[in-house]
Structures are given as structure tokens and as C-alpha cells.
Amino acid sequence: MRTVPHYISGKTVEGQSGRFGDIYNPSTGEVQAQVQLATQDELSEAVAVAVAAQQGWSATNPQRRARVMFKFKELLEANMDELAAILSSEHGKVIADSKGDIQRGLEVIEFACGIPHLLKGEYTEGAGPGIDVFSVRQPLGVVAGITPFNFPAMIPMWMFGVAIACGNAFILKPSEKDPTVPLRLAELMTEAGLPNGVLNVVHGDKTAVDAILTHPDIKAVSFVGSSDIAHYVYSNGTANGKRVQAMGGAKNHGIIMPDADMDQVIADFSGAAYGSAGERCMALPVAVPVGKDTADEFVSRMKEEVGKLKIGISTDAEAHYGPVVSSAHREKIENYIKMGVDEGADLVVDGRGHSLQGHENGFFIGPTLFDNVTPDMQSYQEEIFGPVLQVVRAENLEEAASLPSRHQYGNGVAIFTRNGLAAREFASKVNVGMVGINVPIPVPVAYHTFGGWKRSAFGDVNQHGPEGVRFYTKVKTMTQRWPSGDVDDQSFIIPTMQ
Ligand code: NAD
């Protein structure tokens, strides 16, 4: 059986731990390969390689670093079909969606191509007599990224694209569920001209993560995954003196005002709630129609729409979405559906027990729709991360807006309305990090920045955009004066600019 090796110093390296993780094909339910799971020592070997490589890389001028990024972008485009096929076979999302995953990462690489401009510092001439002050951004050294299964191309590129352009060396610890695309990305970076050792991929589980969190030469850790693990990574990483950004889970609400364009709303919710089988942190799994008429129309039209969805294997070009990532995850989602029923929500469409003819062992689950969900229900309070849409009815905008504001997660939220003033007020006041106005999945473009609030993100600095550059660099400020021949009097007071 194929095994997925580590990637250290520009070449694949077989692991020595004797421990492996299974990689499934979710469409068939079969184990298609195994991934090496690193030991603490293997992680340390990769860090030593990265420390050595980082010195030369940070001394390479930013324009040359940008050229590697330009070349990498071209290689991503040239290899898009191959990457998407691998991604779909390990994740289960349909091919077109895998291409979207790669494309969103590629857009961060395009942003990173502008690194010479992004790293320009600040300069004040004549801050005092003959004194100039300037500040520069310098790389941190070796930094690490720990990524989830649901975007195995985009999220690694959010991190290493910016970090490497800034002059750091990078250790990537991808999800063990779909690790082949991250490995291919590292190979393509080498092909693009990145010096060996600047980007290393170490596969693994908790052992590798703990080794990252405690290694003294890793200066910063970027994490994306579920909230409990994000909190663990944030607490332990910062306790060990590292800079940490740790993005967590989500439960995004879409508020539907009575004046919304209902045709568009139905189209948006079917894609945003069920696309990628709901396995997106910016999915829209909660609909909040305002007023009884809006709610009745939404539920009846959504029920009809759900009936038209086609679930298929990841290579089925007609399918709207594919299987979920594992049988354990399917079981978890089905348990949440049972919980919703037990808690008294109305199950309008039940996706449990969905079987695809010819692929009976695949991890499929049908689209599920609940009406009359209430905020006290546990199935509402927690992240389901599956093709399940929950309708929570609200009397007015105030009540509707309080739901996402009070929820433990605060990743994304959307409002659907034709009333600009209501939308503006809502966007300004809602206690959530990313807001869509008639936009169901408000994932910011690469040159803005991505990050939620509350239990959706721990740490203060977001992913990509100018915030990404800030995360992966530290500021140094110089105050300079050149001898002019005049000698100042001795002074024992703090210098001021009187
Ligand atoms: P996960 O938390 O299970 O895994 C994420 C990473 O943590 C993986 O690399 C995994 O190997 C590692 N990990 C798992 N268990 C660990 C442990 N006990 N100790 C240390 N490390 C551990 O998440 P997932 O299932 O791969 O991804 C789905 C989750 O990610 C969802 O909650 C989703 O909302 C979230 N997510 C969030 C964002 C965001 O930006 N906020 C984006 C994508 C996904």
C-alpha cells in the first residue's frame, strides 16, 4: 500500500516511527494509503534543517523571494487537475470544489508575490536634530502551521505562502486525513526554486503537534481546526513563549429579512449549507427567517430545493456534494440529527442512512433540514459540520441579530435584505468576525484578512492579508545620527524632542 512520506530538505523522507494513519477514499470507504506519523525526534530533525535554511533565505532579497512565489503560482495552475483529483479522492469534496480550494490558496500566493512592497518599513527624516528614525519588519525564523482536513490546499497556503515570502522557514503539519496535496505543494515549491529546507512537511498526530508546541526553535504557530484543539494549541504554544494564532470551529447564521430576494436566498442557502457536505468553517448551517411568513416560505421552498440535490462520488461532475470525510464523522453528524429530534426540533428532511447505489460503503449523508430549532438546544449550540441546515425562527431583526451575537462561535454571519440601513446597523453591531451582506460565504479576499471572534479564533492576529505579514514578522526600529563634529552636552535625562 502507498505510504505518504515526510518532506524534509527538499526531498521525501520515510518515517521511522512505525506508526501510520489510514487515508480513506470517502467515496468508496476503502483505505487507499497510509501516512507516516512523526516522532518528536523526527520533528526536531526537520526544525534543525529549517533553522539552517532560514538564514540564507531571509538574506535573499524580497524580489527574488517573490519570483519563487510567481513561479509557484504558475505551477499550481499547470498542476491544477492533478492536485484537484488527489484532493477529492482523500477529502471527498467534488472536483470543482477542490479546484476552488486550490484557487483560494493560489490567491494568497498572488498576494505574497507583492512581498517587496508589503515589507517596506517606515521612515521619519529629521525626527530630531540630525536624527532619523526607521522601522523594518524582519522574519521570525522558523515557524509552523498545523492544518485541518477540510481545506488541505487553501489553508496550508494561507500560512506558508505569507510566512515564506516574509523570509521565514516553515514546518507544515497537515491533517493526517488528507496529507498528499500538502506534500505535493511542498514539492512544487521546490520546483519553483525554493531552497531546500525552507518548507518542510512533517506528518503526524498529537505527538507531532506537541513537539511543535514545545520546540524552542519554533517561534510562531499558526493553527486551524476545531475549537478545543485550537484552545489547547493557543494555551500551550503561548505558555512556551510562541506567537500563536489558532482558528477554531464555527456555527454561522444567515438572517433572512422579509424584504430579501427569496430566489437568491434559496440558491445561496443550498450552496452554503450543503456544499462540501457542510464541511466548511464558513458554511451557513443556521437560517434565521424574520417573521412567520418569511419562515414558512423559506422552509417550504428549501424543502423543495433539498429534494433536487444530487449526492455523488467526488468525481461525479453532476453531484452537488460528495461524501463526508470519515465514517466516524458521519456517525457524529447522524448523532446530532438524532439529538435535534430528541430535543423537539421538527425534522423536515432526514438525510440519515443515505446509501449511494454502487458505493454503499462510502461515507454519504443526505441533506437534512430542521425547522423550529431553538437556542436552548444543544444541537444548535454546537458545531455539526455536516449537511444539516437548522431553521431558528425570529420575530424581528433585534431577536435575529442577538442569536449570532450570543452564540459561542463568531466566525461568519450573513444578512439577506434590500434595506441598506438595516444591513449597515446589523454589520456594525453583530458580535462576529466576518459579515456578509447578501453574500452567503463572506470569506475575505486574500489581500484582506481572515479571522473569526469568540471561540472561532484564539489570538489577536488574523490569517493572510496585511495581518498575515504582521503575524510572521517582528518590527525593529532604528534611531540614527551620524557624527557632525558638534559634541552635545552630557545629559542624564531621558532624551525628548522638545
Ligand atoms: P481537528 O481539530 O480535528 O484537527 C486539526 C489539526 O489538529 C490536525 O492537523 C490534527 O492532526 C490536529 N489534532 C487533532 N487532534 C489533536 C490533539 N488531540 N492534539 C493536538 N493536535 C490535534 O479539526 P479537523 O476535523 O481537521 O477540521 C475541522 C474543524 O476545523 C472544524 O471545527 C472547522 O470549523 C475548523 N475550521 C476552522 C477554520 C477557521 O478558519 N476558523 C477553517 C477551517 C476549518
Q: 73: which residues sit within 8 A by CB, 6+ positions away?
A: 106, 109, 110, 113
Note the pLDDT tens digit of each residue in 7-55: 999 999 999 999 999 999 999 999 999 999 999 999 999 999 999 999 9
Cell of 158: 494561507
HSE of 498, CA atoms in CB hemisphere, 13 A: 4
pLDDT score at 490: 85
Are 440 and 254 in contact by the 8 Å Cβ rule? The answer is: yes
Q: Are residues 244 and 290 in the same domain?
A: no
Residue with cell 466548511: 280
Q: Which residues line ligand 1 (CB under 6 A)?
A: 146-151, 173, 175-176, 205-206, 209, 224-226, 229, 247-250, 281, 383, 385, 411, 452, 456
Q: Are residues 121 and 229 in the same domain?
A: yes
Q: Is residue 444 part of a domain?
A: no
pLDDT score at 495: 82
Q: Are residues 353 and 429 in the same domain?
A: yes
pTM of the model: 0.97
Note the pLDDT tens digit of each residue in 71-123: 999 999 999 999 999 999 999 999 999 999 999 999 999 999 999 999 999 99
Ligand 1 pocket, mutate which of 43, 101, 205, 382 (most atoms under 8 A from CB) = 205
Q: What is the C-alpha separation between 33 and 47, in angstroms, rounded?
A: 26
Q: What is the C-alpha separation between 210 and 233, in angstroms, rounded?
A: 8
pLDDT of residue 497 exceeding 80, the answer is no
Determine the Cα angle at 100 with ends 467 and 273, to 5°: 90
Q: Are residues 204 and 297 in the same domain?
A: no
Q: Is residue 119 part of a domain?
A: yes
Cell of 428: 456594525
Note the pLDDT tens digit of each residue in 288-317: 999 999 999 999 999 999 999 999 999 999
Q: Are residues 217 and 281 in the same domain?
A: no
Give me ligand 1 centre to Cα 206, in Å. Answer: 11
Tell which of 407, 437, 467 closes a domain. 437
> What residues make up the domain containing 59?
2-248+456-478
Q: Are residues 38 and 139 in the same domain?
A: yes
Q: Are residues 419 and 463 in the same domain?
A: no
Give me ligand 1 centre to Cα 453, in Å. Answer: 17
Q: Are residues 36 and 83 in the same domain?
A: yes
Instruction: Residue 163: name the closest of 445, 476, 463, 450 by CA.
Output: 463
Nearest residue (by CA) to ligand 1, atom 23, is 225
Q: Is residue 308 part of a domain?
A: yes
Q: Are residues 53 and 126 in the same domain?
A: yes
pLDDT of residue 254 exceeding 90, the answer is yes
Average pLDDT of the residues in 242-262: 98
Q: Is residue 205 part of a domain?
A: yes
Residue 236 banded pLDDT, cuts 50, 70, 90: very high
Query: 11-13 and 20-25: which strand pairing?
Result: unpaired
Q: What is the C-alpha separation between 474 and 368, in angstroms, rounded?
A: 47
Q: Are residues 398 and 285 in the same domain?
A: yes
| pLDDT, mean over the chain | 97
CATH number at residue 428: 3.40.309.10
CATH number at residue 95: 3.40.605.10
Q: Is residue 72 part of a domain?
A: yes
pLDDT of residue 274 exceeding 80, the answer is yes
Give me ligand 1 centre to Cα 122, in Å. Answer: 37
Q: Is residue 113 annotated as part of the catalytic site, yes or no?
A: no
Are 362 and 394 in contact by the 8 Å Cβ rule? The answer is: no
Sign of the alpha-carbon torsion through 115, 116, 121, 122: negative
Q: Is residue 445 part of a domain?
A: no
Number of domains in the chain: 2
pLDDT of residue 498 exceeding 80, the answer is no
Residue 38, burial from CB neighbour count under 10 angstroms (0-12, 13-18, 19+): buried
Q: Are residues 232 and 283 in the same domain?
A: no
Note the pLDDT tens digit of each residue in 401-410: 999 999 999 9
Q: Is residue 140 part of a domain?
A: yes
Query: Residue 46 corresponds to which amino acid?
Result: A
311 bridge partner residues: 321
Catalytic residue from among 53, 199, 218, 281: 281
Q: What is the C-alpha separation between 84 and 98, in angstroms, rounded?
A: 5
Q: Provide DSSP, 317-330.
A: TT-SB---S-HHHH
Q: Are residues 109 and 170 in the same domain?
A: yes
Q: Is residue 486 part of a domain?
A: no
Produce one character per residue of 341-360: b if its CB has 16 or more CB atoms within 10 Å, e if not.
Answer: eeeebebbbebeebebeebe
Give me ligand 1 centre to Cα 249, in Å. Answer: 8
